[in-house]
Structure 1
Amino acid sequence: MLTRRSALLSLGATALLPLATQATPGERLYLNAFGEKGSFGLAAFDGDGRIRYQLPLPQRGHSFARRADGRMAVAFSRRPGSFALVFDPVAGTAIRTIAAAEDRDFCGHGTFSADGRLLFTTEVVGSTGEGVLGIYDAAEDFTRVGEFATHGLDPHEMRLMPDGSTLVVANGGILMRADMPRLKLNIADMDPSLVYLDARDGRLLAQIRPAAALRQLSLRHIAIDRHGRVAVAMQYEGPEDDPVPLVALHDAPAGAAGLEYLAMPEADRAGMRQYCGSAAMDAGGRHLAVSSPRGNRVLVWDLDSRIMVQSAEARDVCGIAAQARSGFLASNGLGRMFSLMAGSGIEELTARSRLQWDNHMVIAG
């Protein structure tokens, strides 16, 4: 097994992989973690799927945080994660590695503060499973300067709200501990929630839970629409044939007390196989896309009308991000990338790769 220390030494000793092609100034790039023949890394690519650069990772990656100025990004290891890699997303150069604190594991996601000074990361206390947000000072070489409680178990994705001072966190509600890292210990009495925290002091602003009958809905991924509403993509830990909702909206943080579940045809809901893998808004903030690698599909909603407008099939598809003008770019575990336009179907891009794309795609700049 790769220990935390050996992982960090491995990352520091591994040379930068060669550039595939040079990026054009001002060109939109995307980031995705990948696996390849037992090794791991991250790659940046353009809107046609052409790889611009790669960086090695010592273990499997998950998602990214990008600073607003576009000059710094962080790649997070898959939970229970031992490291995060700070890098320049334009030049494709590694800056430094952040090791997880004692008895803390990264959960794969994070976000920068509005001014770019602080990095917030979702983490768990390894010995208890409690959720925290780690706080790192980017101006002080990413020194860990504190943490906020997430008021729940298994925090996963988090976002900074448009007001620049509120953090929203999806607590998955599943109890896991470091001594049993992939074992789910409380499926019968899960406690998922959507939590809003004051980014300045960690004060709890609101906490929204599914109804008791839906307590096995693990809240996982978040996207924010043009009206500041939070979309939540979920994974159901109960029986596969239970007809439960998988996607919800919340008018945050002072809106309705409950989640508003988005309707979808039963064939599509069942086809998701109770698993949402990623969520993203399009460039206009109107259309929400949710992927399901287990269900081999992407569903798209018009959030103004609350109507599902598209169901597109692609094997093992998970990563998804907004294209520059409209629609979405998606990746799958077979090295394929796709262009998805709301109402116009899905088209595989000509650029293919031997890389096995991992869960999340984000815009690099």
Structure 2
Amino acid sequence: MGILDLTRRSLAGTLGALVAAPRVFFASGAAHARDHLLDAEWLATAGVGEGFAPVVLSPDFAATPVGAGTQRLHWVEPSPDGRTAVAVARRPGTTAVLFDRRAGSVLASFEPGEGRVFSGHGRFIEGGRRFLAVEIDRDTGAGMVTRRVVEAGFAIEAEWASSGIGPHDMLPAGGTLVVANGGVEPHTPEAVGAEIAGASVARLDPVSGAVRSVAELSEDLSSLSLRHLTSGADGFTVVAAQDLLADGIARPLLYAVDGEGLRAFDAPDEEWRGLRTYVGSVCLDASGAYVAAASPRGNRVALWRRDGRFLGSLTLVDGCGLAPTREAGQFLATSGLGETVLIATDGEGVGVVARRSGGPRFDNHAVLVA
């Protein structure tokens, strides 16, 4: 089925106390007490003025930046405590920022291990008592997962190899820790002339870090860098790719992590080409039945059923951030032009049901808070 221009009515009828002080590279000018608490529905990161900041999005899409820093922040991970969150800088960043998403204040920051940089992603575990971060060795590109104690100022208590180079995203799923080892990162100096990314998806023991399995793509797909992950409550996991090559070949950019292998999603060749070799964000909806992927290079958001059946796509200029809403079949999408868009599917087509402009320059990701 092609792209459907669905009306808002048709879709709506179908879808029903930490010790560290902030470091000098992250200003606390917005950390003063507010006269009210923020109503946080989603969290994101964005370019704000000459710097970067975590952003709190209210149910009506109003965006409130928290603090301001010089490093580009990427993913935001809300804590199960219902109040705080951590925004992590992407490679070559060296800071992660803890903030109060209700008060709109910066609380603390922490750094990667010696000689390493953050990859942009991290996850709370154990009810928010521990935090996992993905890090990359500056010299070798080797990946490391660090486990940190939140009450100890995010001090590292253990670390494990990610079983690959250039890891980008990581999440707990199905009783394992899933890591997307991107290999060579597309659109970087290292990628010039490269044709093999060396990417993989590793499944690690969440307690010991022991390798349970490593999945790689076939030789004809070896130019793909596996970068972003999403998973459902049942452990179903999807990984999104970016391509080192711009040779016109329509390679699938979305894969289900199927046991110890990877299963490609289906889409017409023109849809894969329309993503212009790049998926910057992937997301499951609240029901776990639908998957969305966004390409800021292709100016598109595309949706699939969980089984890999393609549903359709729509235009969102420089759109990348994706998060579920609390309704089945709905997604929030954000763009680098300051747009927030509510996208929905009725299981057959794709449409826009709400839109707001005038926000900050949103980065790649958004997340729904509990």
Q: TM-score range by the shorter chain?
A: 0.7 to 0.9
**How much has 1:141 moved relative to structure 2?**
1.4
CA–CA distance in structure 2, aligned partners of residues 173 and 149 of structure 1? 14
Give, as a single letter, the amino acid of the residue that structure 1 aligns with 2:59.
G
Secondary structure, counterpart of 2:267 in structure 1: coil
1:82 aligned to which of 91, 94, 100: 94
Say whether residues 1:247 and 2:254 are aligned partners: yes
- For CA contacts below 8 A with separation 6 or more, give which structure has more relative contact order: 2
Is 1:281 aligned to 2:284, yes or no?
Answer: yes
**Contact 2:313–2:350 under 8 Å retained in 1:** no
Change (3 A) 1:17 1:330: farther
Aligned-partner residue type, residue 224 of structure 1: S
Structure 2 equivalent of residue 364 of structure 1: 369
Per-residue deviation, 1:349: 1.9
Distance 1:301 1:189, change over 3 A: closer
| Rounded Cα–Cα distance in structure 1 between residues aligned with 2:253 and 2:82 | 32
Residue type at the aligned position of 2:214: Q
Matching residue of 1:320? 322
1:290 — aligned with what? Answer: 293
Instruction: Give the letter for the 2:342 counterpart.
Output: S
How far is 1:62 from its partner?
0.5
- Tell whether 2:100 aligns with 1:95: no
CA distance in 1, matches of 2:296, 2:87: 21
Letter in 1 for 2:172: L
1:149 partner letter: A
- Unmatched 5+ stretches in structure 2: 1-21
**What is the aligned-residue identity percentage?**
31
| SS of 1:274 mapped into structure 2 | coil
Alignment match, 1:108: 120
Flag the 1:140–1:37 CA change in 2: closer, same or farther, 3 A: closer
SS at match of 1:183: helix
The residue that corresponds to 2:183 in the other structure is 173
SS in 2 for 1:9: coil
TM-score (norm 1): 0.88
Greater shift, 237-246 or 75-84, is seen at: 237-246
- Which residue type is aligned with residue 213 of structure 2? A
1:113 is displaced (CA, Å) by 1.6
Q: Residue type matched to 1:170 in 2? A: A
Q: Are residues 19 and 214 of structure 1, via their aligned partners in 2, closer, same or farther at CA, if it must alter by over 3 Å?
A: farther
**Does the aligned pair in 2 maintain the 1:33–1:43 contact within 8 Å?**
yes
2-structure distance, mates of 1:136, 1:349: 38
Indicate if the aligned counterparts of 1:134 and 1:148 stay in contact, CA closer than 8 A. Answer: yes
Kept after mapping to 1: 8 A contact 2:48/2:68: no
Partners of 2:264 and 2:210 lie apart in 1 by 27
Deviation, 1:135, is 1.9
Q: 1:239 to 1:286 in 2, by over 3 A?
A: same
Aligned to 1:3: none
Label 1:175 to 1:281 Cα distance change in 2 as closer, same or farther (>3 A): closer
Q: What is the TM-score normalised by the length of structure 2? A: 0.86
Aligned to 1:149: 161
Quick one: distance in 2 between partners of 1:275 and 1:153? Answer: 19
1:183 is matched with 190
Please tell me whether residue 16 in structure 1 is matched to residue 31 in structure 2.
yes
Kindly tell me: are residues 32 and 208 of structure 1, through their superposed partners in 2, closer, same or farther at Cα, counting changes over 3 Å?
Answer: same
| Native 8 Å contact 1:225 1:286 kept in 2 | no
Is 1:58 aligned to 2:70, yes or no?
A: yes
Secondary structure of the structure 2 residue equivalent to 1:267: helix
Amino acid of the residue matched to residue 171 of structure 1?
A: N
Q: Among 343, 348, 352, which residue is 1:340 paired with?
A: 343
The whole-number CA distance in structure 2 between the counterparts of 1:265 and 1:17 is 51
Amino acid at match of 1:184: A
Q: Secondary structure at the match of 1:335?
A: coil
Aligned length: 344
Contact 1:135 1:146 in 2 (8 A): yes
Spell out the pairing of 1:153-302 with structure 2 (5 A cutoff): 153-163=165-175, 166-174=176-184, 183-184=190-191, 187-251=194-258, 255=259, 257-302=260-305
- From the superposition, tell whether residues 184 and 147 of structure 1 become closer, same or farther in structure 2 (CA, over 3 Å): farther
CA contact (8 A) 2:197 2:244 kept: no
* Structure 1: distance between partners of 2:151 and 2:354: 41
Partner deviation per Cα, 1:267-294 (whole Å, 9 max, x = no partner)? 2111000100101111111100000000
CA deviation after TM superposition for structure 1 residue 69, in Å: 3.0
Paired residue secondary structure (1:115): helix
Q: Which residue of 1 aligns with 2:19?
A: none
User: Aligned pair in 2 of structure 1 residues 38, 20: CA closer, same or farther (>3 Å)?
Assistant: farther
Instruction: Quickly say closer, same or farther: Cα 1:307–1:110, change in 2 above 3 A.
Output: same
**Cα RMSD (Å) of the superposition?**
2.3
| Contact 2:91-2:117 within 8 A present in 1 as well | yes
Q: Distance in 1 between matches of 2:119 and 2:193?
A: 18
Moved over 3 A (4+): 12-15, 17-24, 181-186
Which secondary structure state, in structure 2, belongs to the residue aligned with residue 119 of structure 1? strand
Contact (CA 8 Å) 2:38, 2:101: kept in 1 or not? Answer: no
Q: 1:124 aligns with which of 103, 126, 136?
A: 136
Following superposition, the deviation at residue 235 of structure 1 comes to 0.3
Distance 2:286 2:140 in 1: 40
Mapped contact 1:48–1:349 kept (Cα < 8 A): no
Q: How far apart are 1:61 and its partner, in Å? A: 0.9
